[in-house]
Amino acid sequence: MARINPKSAVAIVFVAAMFINIIDATVVNVALPTIAEDFGVPIEFTATVNIGFLVAVAVAIPVAGWLGDRFGAREVFLLAVGLFTIASAACGLAQTVEQLVIFRIVQGIGGGLMTPVGMAMLYRTFPPNERVRLSRIINVPIALAPAIGPVLGGLLVQRASWRWIFGINVPIGVVAIVFTLIAVPTMAKRTSSRLDVPGFLLAGVGFAALMFAVSEGAIRGWSSPVIWIPALVGVVLLTLLVIVETRVSAPMLRLSLFRLGLFRSANLITFASAAGFLGGLFVYPLMLQTAFGYSPLTAGLLTFPEAIGIMVGTQIAARFYGRVGPRRLIAAGQATVAIALLCLAFVMSSTISPVVPVALMLLLGFGQAHTFMPTQASAFDTVAPEHTGAATALYNATRQVGSAVGVAVAATVIATIGFDPAMAADESATLFPYQMALVGCALFSVAGSLIATFGVKDADAAPSRGLAPAIRAGSTD
């Protein structure tokens, strides 16, 4: 058998892992009513199926960088994919809600480790001047998975069984493990330091508490002690984390990386863009179903064009990146996303031609591609190679929190405004909460555009643009 290029091998396994990880986070939602019916429990009991997964991801991400550096990125990646695959199979075989929650927690641990460590493998394999080409590849799962998830989930639940939404991960995971063992070379360990236990405990409990509060606040009510107490605990612990991590010699989270202007701006943009984009993808299908009466499958199909927009936009952004730089691409991309979200809010109606929402979702994806591609290409340009693992952990934690905040804000706006059931026949009254939620999502994208305009310097991205050599190992922060 012909030897596979190591760069291609790393890219292939990362795309496969990202695809099953992202799609699993979106495919479950449509199945929760069926799961509740199958197990004979109230629908609210199934909320922990998603909460357990999200909390486990929040705990795993911060420690992922240290684990990859300490025990080898390839080995930890194999462990993560293995955990995720085994837990997926177990989820599909679960006989009670309690079992399903436990297996989802294990799945979340695997997923939380998988993405940061896989990204560290990528950025150690591909030099900065090849990361534009790399972004064209890794945007595929980011674009397709959120769009395919609800459609695939609806089809499997209606035509087969909810258990298959977990079963589809198993063959992909097994192939990814075998392929990694055969084709991906072992990578050097980057540290011999011991685990920063105080940092791990503060980050794990703090992120978990905050993610729980943010994810459930709109449903349970922000004034509920079940929400505000974990939120307060999370904020306090993460504040202590900042103090502790800046005073230890080998921190689990290298917060000093935020002193790097480009890395700091890339994280802020990632937070804002994830909040706006994923918040919008949360609101839009709900609006189609609740305000306009579309079926879940039709709503999923009308959402899917954003994936095409991302794939097309990524190719165009990549062509201009070297010449234009990240600042203007990101600023224009986030402005485009904001415009698309506002148009979805105020142009949509039950009588409008399907061509209009399809065009707007294409525009949404096209604009977001101009954030994904240049941010991923440039974010680590000023990060020294030995800090790549720590940087990818921080970057993915930021993205995860941004995604949760965007959905939480949108859900809170919808729940707070609500609508009078007596006015259900009035389309404008039913539509108003979703319009305001989309406006909130658009404001996140406006913030992302402003951060790019005033916080990103194209000169800092010279390595990924092929205009300067990469930062050498051993360089200072």
Same domain, 200 and 265: no
Q: What CATH number does the domain containing 431 carry? A: 1.20.1250.20
Residue 274: left if φ>0, alpha if ψ -120 to 50, beta else—which one?
alpha
Q: Is 99 helix (H, G, I), strand (E, B) or coil?
A: helix
Same domain, 210 and 280: no
What integer pLDDT is reported at residue 476 of this predicted model? 43
What integer pLDDT is reported at residue 82 of this predicted model? 95
What integer pLDDT is reported at residue 281 of this predicted model? 85
Same domain, 179 and 272: no
What integer pLDDT is reported at residue 219 of this predicted model? 74
Q: In whole angstroms, give the CA distance from residue 67 to residue 62.
A: 10
Please give the chain's pLDDT, 477 residues, in tens.
456 788 888 888 888 888 888 887 777 766 777 888 888 887 666 767 877 887 888 888 888 888 988 888 899 999 999 999 999 999 999 999 889 989 999 999 999 899 889 888 988 888 888 888 777 777 767 667 777 777 777 778 777 888 988 888 899 899 999 999 998 888 877 766 788 888 888 988 888 888 888 877 877 788 889 889 999 999 999 999 989 988 887 788 888 899 999 999 999 999 999 999 988 988 888 888 788 888 767 877 888 898 889 889 988 998 899 899 999 999 999 999 999 999 999 998 878 888 999 999 999 999 999 998 899 889 889 988 888 888 888 898 898 888 888 888 888 888 888 755 555 555 677 788 899 999 999 999 999 999 999 999 999 999 888 887 766 655 544
Please give the angle made by the CA atoms of 417, 419 and 424, to the nearest 5 degrees.
Answer: 160
Same domain, 136 and 247: no
pTM of the model: 0.84
User: Is there a contact between 178 and 166 (Cβ–Cβ < 8 Å)?
Assistant: no
Same domain, 100 and 240: no
What integer pLDDT is reported at residue 333 of this predicted model? 97
Q: If DSSP states are collapsed to H, E and C, what string results for 45-108? A: HHHHHHHHHHHHHHHHHHHHHHHHHHHCHHHHHHHHHHHHHHHHHHHHHCCCHHHHHHHHHHHH
Write down which residue in 223, 251, 279 finishes a domain: 251
Q: In degrees rounded to 5, what are phi and psi of residue 469?
A: -70, 160
Amino acid in the structure at residue 409: V
- The token pair at 386 is 């030995």
Largest interatomic CA distance in the chain: 68
> DSSP of 370-438, one letter per residue?
HHHHHHHHHTTTTS-GGGHHHHHHHHHHHHHHHHHHHHHHHHHHHHHH---GGGTT-HHHHHHHHHHHH
Same domain, 285 and 214: no
Write down which residue in 155, 170, 195 finishes a domain: 195
Residue 315: which domain range? 256-477
- The token pair at 454 is 């005033």
- The token pair at 164 is 């298959």
Same domain, 202 and 191: no
- The token pair at 58 is 């929040």
Please give the angle made by the CA atoms of 151, 154 and 160, to the nearest 5 degrees.
Answer: 125
Q: In whole angstroms, give the CA distance from residue 225 to residue 223.
A: 6
User: Is there a contact between 16 and 176 (Cβ–Cβ < 8 Å)?
Assistant: yes
Same domain, 34 and 83: yes
Q: Is 42 exposed, middle or buried (0-12, 13-18, 19+ CB in 10 A)?
A: exposed
* H or E segment and range at residue 140: helix 131-159
> DSSP of 259-293, one letter per residue?
GSHHHHHHHHHHHHHHHHHHHHHHHHHHHHHHTT-
Write down which residue in 168, 195, 222 finishes a domain: 195
What integer pLDDT is reported at residue 1 of this predicted model? 44
Same domain, 434 and 306: yes
Q: In whole angstroms, give the CA distance from residue 391 to residue 160.
A: 41
The number of folded domains in the chain is: 3
Residue matched to tokens 């809170």: 412
Instruction: Give the HSE-up count for residue 188: Cα atoms under 13 Å, Cβ half-sphere.
Output: 7
Same domain, 20 and 162: yes
CB count within 10 Å of CB 417 equals 13
Helix pair angle (131-159, 97-125), 10° resolution: 160
User: Is there a contact between 316 and 348 (Cβ–Cβ < 8 Å)?
Assistant: no
What integer pLDDT is reported at residue 269 of this predicted model? 97
Same domain, 446 and 350: yes
What integer pLDDT is reported at residue 2 of this predicted model? 53
Q: Which regions of 218-354 does DSSP assign to beta strands (E)?
A: none
Same domain, 224 and 295: no
Sign of the CA dihedral with 66 first, then 237, 403, and 293 last: positive
Residue matched to tokens 């929760």: 32
Q: In whole angstroms, give the CA distance from residue 297 to residue 425.
A: 23
